[in-house]
Amino acid sequence: MTSPKPKTIQTMKPATAAKKLGVLLSATPAEFQEGVVSRDELNELQSTPPAWLADLRRNGPHPKQVIAVKLGVSISGLARGGITGPLTTAEIDALKAENPAWLERERAIQAETRKEALRLKQR
C-alpha cells in the first residue's frame, strides 16, 4: 500500500484573492498585496473580515464587477457609459441619484438580457 500524500496548501496570487473578495487590489494593505493567500486564509477573510476589508467593501473604491452589480448593469454597459475606473460607494450613490440616460438604457438592456436568459432556461 502507498502512504497518503501530505495535503498541499492551495495558494493564490493577491490579485486573485482580491477579485474573490470583491475588492480593488490597489486599495488593499501592502502586506496583502505582497504575499500569497492560502485557501484557508481566504476563507477566514470571507467569514470574519478584518476592519480594512469591511471598510473597503462598505466604502470602496470598488472594482468594475462590484460597480456593475451595484448599478444593475453589465461590465460592458459600464464601459459604454464611460465608467472605466474604480468608484467609491458615494460616487455610485450619486450616479444612482442622477440616473443619467446611459444608466437607464443599460439597466433596460440588462433587464431584457436576464428575462431572455430566464426564458431560455425554462425551455
At residue 55, what are phi and psi to the nearest 5 degrees? -65, -45
CB atoms < 10 A from the CB of 108, how many? 11
Answer yes or no: pTM beyond 0.85: no
The torsion angles phi and psi of 12, rounded to 5 degrees, stand at -140, 160
Give per-residue pLDDT as tens, 34-49. 888 899 999 999 999 9
- The mean pLDDT value of the chain amounts to 90
Q: Is the per-residue pLDDT at 2 higher than 90?
A: no
Q: Which three cell numbers stand for residue 82?
A: 464611460
Whole-angstrom Cα distance, residue 6 to residue 8?
Answer: 6
61: how many CB neighbours lie within 10 A of its CB? 17
Q: Residue 62 pairs with which residues in a beta bridge?
A: 87
Identify which has the larger pLDDT, 68 or 11: 68
pLDDT > 90: percent of the chain: 72
